Structure 1
Amino acid sequence: MRRRMTQIAAIILAAGKGTRMKSDLHKVLHPIAGRPMLMHLMDAVDALNPAKKVVVVGSGKEQLEAALAGSAELAVQEPQHGTGHAVQQAEAALAGFEGDVLILYGDVPFVPTSTMQMMIDRLNADDDPAVVVLGFEPEDTQAYGRIVTQNDRIEWMVEHKDATEAQRATKLCNSGLMAVKAKDLFPLLARVTNENAAGEYYLVDIVNIATQDGRHCYVVKTDPYDVTGINSRGELAAMEGEWQARRRVQAMVDGASLIAPDTVWFSWDTKLGRDVLIEPNVFFGPGVTVADNVKIRANCHIEGATIGSGCEVGPFARLRPGTVLEEKAKIGNFVETKKAHLGKGAKANHLTYLGDATIGAGANIGAGTITCNYDGYFKYQTVIGEGAFIGSNSALIAPVKIGRDAIVAAGSAVSRDVADGDLRMVRAEQLVKPGWADRFHDTMRKKKAEKK
């Protein structure tokens, strides 16, 4: 087989109403692993460096327009008369395009780039196929359309509702994904009719029309996972589970230890180094990078954070976006960070909130410390110098700077800068009234007794 260098266009069908989702959010924008399913697919398409991308939309156009942010052209299918009719709506956007066209589905998000390339390569083989169809053999053929083949050459394709019992016995199913040369695609679509059980214009009919013309069409096969469609919340959850299971395996293959793999949840872009230990019930949101030799203790939620080598996080810690931990920094139990940068070896071991803060190397943040970073209107910065010691139950009222090796005494509310090496103690004078509590309790007990 000889690969020919041709331009590629992708038509992504996303005009379905997604009624089974029962959601105001467009079906293809529902996330898997923290990313809209459509964007998983678009990322795989982009790896082919396509000349054109056309997303066919219907209801929810504004949502898709916002999500795509100009990265693809939109074509509107309204009303909706089937998959063949949907693809026809991209004809104007591809006017003058003479390369190869991939037809994909926005609710089939995990088609690998390599599979798309395999379809394109087969389309450009020396035997000059008219259409290449992506097939698969699921354990349960359900209501999928069938592909009748002789070796890999397609003899006939039929939708499930129009298939005979004999045809339904065929295990090879149609994913709906195709590769067709632009010069063939739209002339074939123009000949498709809606004379079928649904009264729709089926995309698969272009295969049958080309076959009747004496041209050959071929199938290439892929793993059923690659072409799993998502139409309901249940299917969304099932696909999330399958994606996570594969990602956990990959994490361990790459050198991370997961104590209870089924309880760890990754994002689509989570990056883990080697010899990372992850205890049970850890959730990674988008934007997390973890270096080598990191320990993430149980029950942590981490999003938008960069964790340096040798760090320890948790248990029961929450790292929010903008958190950076340099080498061997430590975040302990019930600590929350947001836009906080901890220098090498800095630590906050217990019950602390650090927001909009820069903490120098080796600084120690005592239990119960908070950075008061918000006045109801604006956010302000707290800067803590290297080697500083912040005593327990301190409130650092931003904007404020604590100098190198400075000490803030426990229970202080600090609203002015502290110079290098200084001690700052901000407490009200302790007042003692001997016997006051006993007299108070006696009075209140008598009042309570009188009410009975």
Structure 2
Amino acid sequence: MAEKPLAVIILAAGQGSRMQSELPKVLHRLAGVPLIGHALAAARSLEPDDVIVVAGHGAAKVEKATAKLEPDARIVLQQEQLGTGHAVRQAMPLLEGFDGKVIVLYGDTPFIGEDTLAALASHGADLVVLGFEAEDPGRYGRLVITDAGLERIVEYKDADEATRMIALCNSGVMALDAGLLRNLIGKLTNDNAAGEYYLTDLVALARAEGRRADVVTCDEEETLGINTRAELAAAEAGFQARARVSALENGVTLTDPATVWFSLDTAIGRDAVIGQNVVFGPGVTIESGAEVLPFCHLEGCHISSGATVGPFARLRPGAELGSEVHVGNFVEIKNAVLDEGVKVGHLTYLGDSHIGEHANIGAGTITCNYDGVMKHRTEIGANAFIGSDTMLVAPVRVGERAVTGSGSVITEDIEEGALALGRARQVTKPGLGIRLMQALRAQKEKS
């Protein structure tokens, strides 16, 4: 971790035309979150004093997504996309008076690791570039290193044959002293074929002032940038493969690893068991010893030790399952707390609710929580028994050890230990069923 104050600038202004999409490139999802969410998470690992996102194409959408992912991040607009150097220049007014180190990241480069960023932040050189040994250097810019450090960055089109033989390539990520950046950013020119201001030109400018430039290296996969849907799909596959290996190595049982899909922040304790075809959205934590059976979708929820979920269950944001809770097949839970030992066997919706410990929720129970405008809560006490096909019209409270009769519509609070029946009285007409069916069949034959 750097001792000096640290700021992170994330470049996220590009349109990403090769994605063939109206959506800004940095908002396409990878591992359940927008690409920029990965860059923000990487920045967060450094505990920076400031995070600035440079937005351009679809700026309003980028700003909205950023505010949700990282509320303290600040947004600056790059009206015209005139290169990486021009993008960083837009952020400089927000760093007026800042005395520390600045790291420049990219919103479409999701896999730079915490150790790599820490190495950039703590490096002693005035300017540090992140490089990687490319298996196929192709048209990457090359990093030319001498005993004095990083001498220059040479773009492929400007490189001679000897320089093109260099395998050390430029990722575009850079860290440098804020004062140096403030001094040099205005000296960048667009005297090149593209007419753009390149951040890479800072190396030559720094060297010209006698400042030291150097390189930190990382694995090539950390520098992967996303430019097309095919690259996005490949990145997703790579992330999922690594996440599955990590889960297995940390003591999680995956019954069929290839069918389990993780999100960026999925957290699972050891000795948990995850069945096949389970999908994790963002914000899921599972404690040790819990089990998720096949074909479940989980998002924004917490599952405590000893709980079982599924098969075919859906846990939505705000679902909190206590220890030894059982949630069975075709159950949906949203913004609801289930205390220890609650049983919800099947075919049930619990929304905006609190279920007391060891309550039993019968099949077909629905908390009617939405009146078309507002959401309302249902409170069910400990050891209550909710009969099958009960409709609980919120706001409503069921007391401890209370019972509802099957098929009831509950619109009023039920006191502790009471039995509530809220269904119409059954009327039976002897023989009418046979006569009714005979009449209907005769009508069908005539038609």
Q: Same fold (TM over 0.5)?
A: yes
Deviation at 1:280, TM superposition (A): 0.6
Q: Is the 8 A contact 2:361 2:386 kept in 1?
A: yes
Measured after TM superposition, the shift of residue 278 of structure 1 is: 0.4
Report the Cα distance in structure 2 between the residues aligned to 1:277 and 1:158, rounded to whole angstroms.
51
2:266 aligned with 1:265: no
Counterpart check, 1:196 vs 2:192:
yes
> What does residue 375 of structure 2 align with?
379
SS in 2 for 1:93: helix
Q: Name the residue aligned to 2:15.
A: 17
Counterpart selection for 1:423 from 395, 419, 438: 419
CA distance in structure 1 between the partners assigned to 2:172 and 2:26 by the alignment: 16
- Choose from 303, 311, 318 the match for 1:315: 311
**In the alignment, what sits opposite 2:88?**
87
Quote the offset at 1:187 in angstroms.
4.2
Q: String of CA shifts for 1:21-79, please: whole Å, max 9, x gaps.
A: 33343322333223332233233323434344433332333333334446344444333
What residue is the counterpart of 1:279 in the other structure? 275
Aligned-residue offset at 1:428: 3.0
Provide the residue aligned with 2:118 in structure 1. Answer: 117
2:228 counterpart residue number: 232
Query: What is the letter of the counterpart of residue 306 of structure 1?
Result: H
In structure 2, distance between residues paired with 1:174 and 1:246: 24
Cα distance in 1 between the residues matched to 2:253 and 2:444: 60
Query: SS of the residue aligned with 2:80?
Result: coil
Cα pair 2:10 2:39 within 8 Å, conserved: no
Partner of 1:296: 292
Match of 1:65 in 2: 63
Structure 1 residue 18: Cα displacement: 1.9
Letter in 2 for 1:104: L
The answer to whether structure 1 residue 171 and structure 2 residue 145 are counterparts is no
Change (3 A) 1:94 1:322: closer
Higher alpha-carbon deviation: 44-53 or 285-294: 44-53
AA at the equivalent of 1:325: L
- Alpha-carbon distance in structure 1 between the residues aligned to 2:156 and 2:207: 19
Distance 1:424 1:54 in 2: 57
Structure 1 pair 426–149 and aligned structure 2 pair: CA distance change class (3 A)? same
Offset of 1:141 from its aligned partner? 2.6
Kept after mapping to 2: 8 A contact 1:296/1:314: yes
- Name the structure 2 match of 1:77: 78
Cα distance in 1, alignment partners of residues 53 and 320 from structure 2: 38
Instruction: Give the TM-score, by structure 2 length.
Output: 0.89
State the one-letter code of the partner of 1:272. I
> Offset at 1:331?
0.5
Structure 1 residue 418: Cα displacement: 2.8
C-alpha separation between the residues in 2 aligned to 1:264 and 1:178?
A: 35
- Percent identity, aligned pairs only, is 49
1:43 aligns with one of 41, 44, 52:
41
C-alpha contact 2:253 2:271 (8 A) present in aligned 1: yes
Deviates more, 1:70-79 or 1:370-379: 70-79
User: In the aligned structure 2, how far is the partner of 1:243 from the partner of 1:45?
Assistant: 18
Q: Distance in 1 between matches of 2:426 and 2:98?
A: 82
Greater CA deviation, 255-264 or 134-143? 134-143
Report the secondary structure of 1:38's partner residue.
Answer: helix
Cα distance in structure 1, aligned partners of 2:85 and 2:374? 53
Match of residue 139 from structure 1: 135
The higher radius of gyration belongs to 1
Correspondence 1:445 to 2:445: no
The residue that corresponds to 1:153 in the other structure is 149
Residue identity matched to 1:329: V
CA distance in 2: counterparts of 1:52 and 1:413, whole angstroms: 54
Residue identity opposite 1:410 in structure 2:
S
Deviation, structure 1 residue 318 = 0.9
Q: Distance in 1 between matches of 2:182 and 2:293?
A: 57
Question: CA distance change for structure 1 residues 37 and 363 in 2, over 3 Å: closer, same or farther?
Answer: same
Q: Secondary structure at the match of 2:222?
A: helix
Q: Matched residue of 1:204: which SS?
A: helix
Question: Across the two proteins, how many residue pairs are aligned to each other?
Answer: 444
Distance in 2 separating the partners of 1:358 and 1:190? 58
SS of the residue 1:265 aligns to: coil
Pair 175,405 (structure 1): closer, same or farther in 2 beyond 3 Å? same
CA distance in 2, matches of 1:317, 1:172: 49
Could you tell me which amino acid in structure 1 is paired with residue 245 of structure 2? V
Does structure 1 retain, via aligned residues, the 8 Å contact 2:2–2:118? Answer: no
- CA displacement at 1:317 relative to structure 2: 0.6
Find the residue that maps to 2:436 and give its secondary structure: helix
CA–CA separation in structure 2 for the residues paired with 1:20 and 1:199: 21
Q: Distance in 1 between matches of 2:95 and 2:152?
A: 28
Shift, 1:324, TM fit: 1.7
Deviates more, 1:335-344 or 1:198-207: 198-207
Q: Secondary structure at the match of 2:320?
A: strand
Q: Secondary structure at the match of 2:337?
A: strand
Q: Are the aligned partners of 1:161 and 1:197 in contact in 2 as well (CA < 8 Å)?
A: no
Structure 2 distance, partners of 1:183, 1:320, is 47
Counterpart amino acid of residue 117 in structure 2: M
Contact 1:327–1:343 (8 Å) recurs in 2: yes
Unaligned 5+ runs, structure 2: none
CA separation in 2, counterparts of 1:72 and 1:431?
65
What are the equivalent positions in structure 2 for 1:234-253 lying under 5 Å apart? 234-253=230-249
Shift of 1:386: 1.9
Q: Report the Cα distance in structure 2 between the residues aligned to 1:246 and 1:301, rounded to whole angstroms.
A: 20
CA, structure 1 residues 423+238, in 2 after alignment: closer, same or farther (shift >3 Å)?
same
Give the Å deviation of 1:90.
3.2
Do 1:256 and 1:277's aligned partners in 2 also have CA atoms closer than 8 Å?
yes
1:172 Cα deviation (Å)? 1.4
In structure 2, C-alpha distance between the alignment counterparts of 1:64 and 1:237, rounded to whole Å: 21
What is the deviation of 1:370? Answer: 1.6
In the TM superposition, what is the alpha-carbon distance from 1:276 to its structure 2 partner? 0.5
- Name 1:28's counterpart in structure 2: 26
Alignment RMSD, CA only? 2.6
